[in-house]
Amino acid sequence: MTEDGARTETDALRGVLAAEHAAVWGYGVVGAALPPERRAEAVTAENAHRDVRDRLAALLEERGADPVLPEAGYALPFPVLSPVDAATLAVVLEDGVAAAWVHALDRATGPGVRQPAVEELSAAEVRAVRWRAAAGRSPVTEAFPGL
């Protein structure tokens, strides 16, 4: 791996970490706008993003890269006032994470990053499919998540 290649890959992973921070924060909003009987899926998704966030932070620390910290707060792209709004926000969150992982795939220098990237990209799209359905979107799938 060249030094430039490693730096580019690390920068892309920092972008993923920033997106994961946003997703963890955003799922708190998603859950709050869902009725109690539907919050479990938001909690599961939030925990999944929290897990990825922690693993990415550890990886970046191993590399001696500057940490990416969560913002103190985020501006919602639209008011989240209903379960449909919540599902729509969840789609936005997953799409943002997917874009970050695709960028990481583009910049990755080896299988050690590509393998988790394609797995997490797929996991984000599977979650997005469920949220698109909950938001009443059709089709619920994307041909090219993150591209």
Q: Which residues bind another protein (CB under 8 A)?
A: 15, 18-19, 22, 25-26, 71-78, 88, 92-93, 95-96, 98-103, 105-106, 108-109, 111, 114-115, 117-119, 121-126, 128-130, 133, 138-147
CB of 43 to another protein, least distance (A): 19
Looking at the Cβ atoms of 47 and 115, the one nearer to another protein is 115
Looking at the Cβ atoms of 33 and 36, the one nearer to another protein is 33
14 by Cβ neighbours in 10 Å (0-12 / 13-18 / 19+) ranks as: buried
Looking at the Cβ atoms of 36 and 38, the one nearer to another protein is 38
CB of 89 to another protein, least distance (A): 9
Please name which of 137, 80, 108, 126 lies closest in space to residue 7, comparing C-alpha atoms. Answer: 108
d(CA 114, CA 70): 24
CB of 35 to another protein, least distance (A): 23
Q: Do 119 and 55 touch, CB atoms closer than 8 A?
A: no
Looking at the Cβ atoms of 42 and 100, the one nearer to another protein is 100
Looking at the Cβ atoms of 33 and 99, the one nearer to another protein is 99
CB of 133 to another protein, least distance (A): 8
Instruction: List the structure tokens of 70.
Output: 């969560």
Instruction: List the structure tokens of 89.
Output: 């926000």
146 conformational bin, left if phi > 0, alpha if psi -120 to 50, beta if neither: left
CB of 135 to another protein, least distance (A): 12
Please name which of 103, 116, 84, 83 lies closest in space to residue 146, comparing C-alpha atoms. Answer: 103
